[in-house]
Amino acid sequence: MLDTPPELIAVEEPKPGELNEFFDLPDAPAWWAPAPMDAEREQYRAALVTRIGEQGVRQRALLQRQHDLQLTMADKRRHRESENTGRVLDGSAGQEGPASCLEWRLFQRQAHRYPMLAHPTEFGAYILRGHGRLRVYLSGSDSVGGKLRHEVRDRVVADVANGFEPVAHLHNHPFMFDRVPGDRMYTTEDSVNEIGGALAPSLTDVQAYRGMREHFGLKGAWLTNGLDSIHYTAEDFDRLSAWD
In a domain, 171, yes or no: yes
In a domain, 9, yes or no: no
Residue pair 202/78 in contact (Cβ under 8 Å)? The answer is no
d(CA 227, CA 164): 28
d(CA 81, CA 8): 34
d(CA 131, CA 163): 8
pLDDT tens, residue by residue, 47-72: 999 999 999 999 999 999 999 999 99
Helix (H) or strand (E) segment spanning residue 232: strand 228-233
In a domain, 147, yes or no: yes
Max CA distance (Å), the chain: 50
134, amino acid identity: L
DSSP state at residue 143:
S
In a domain, 193, yes or no: yes
Tell whether pTM > 0.85. yes
In a domain, 12, yes or no: no
Percent of residues, the chain, with pLDDT higher than 70: 100
In a domain, 8, yes or no: no
In a domain, 1, yes or no: no
d(CA 89, CA 199): 10
pLDDT tens, residue by residue, 7-61: 999 999 999 999 999 999 999 999 999 999 999 999 999 999 999 999 999 999 9
Q: Which domain holds residue 178?
A: 17-239
Q: What is the total count of domains within the chain?
A: 1
In a domain, 98, yes or no: yes
pLDDT the model gives residue 76: 77
Tell me how far CA of residue 6 lies from CA of 35, 102, 219, in angstroms.
22, 15, 24
pLDDT tens, residue by residue, 143-182: 998 889 999 999 999 999 999 999 999 999 999 999 999 9
Alpha helices in the chain (DSSP H): 39-56, 59-72, 76-79, 82-89, 101-113, 150-161, 203-216, 236-239
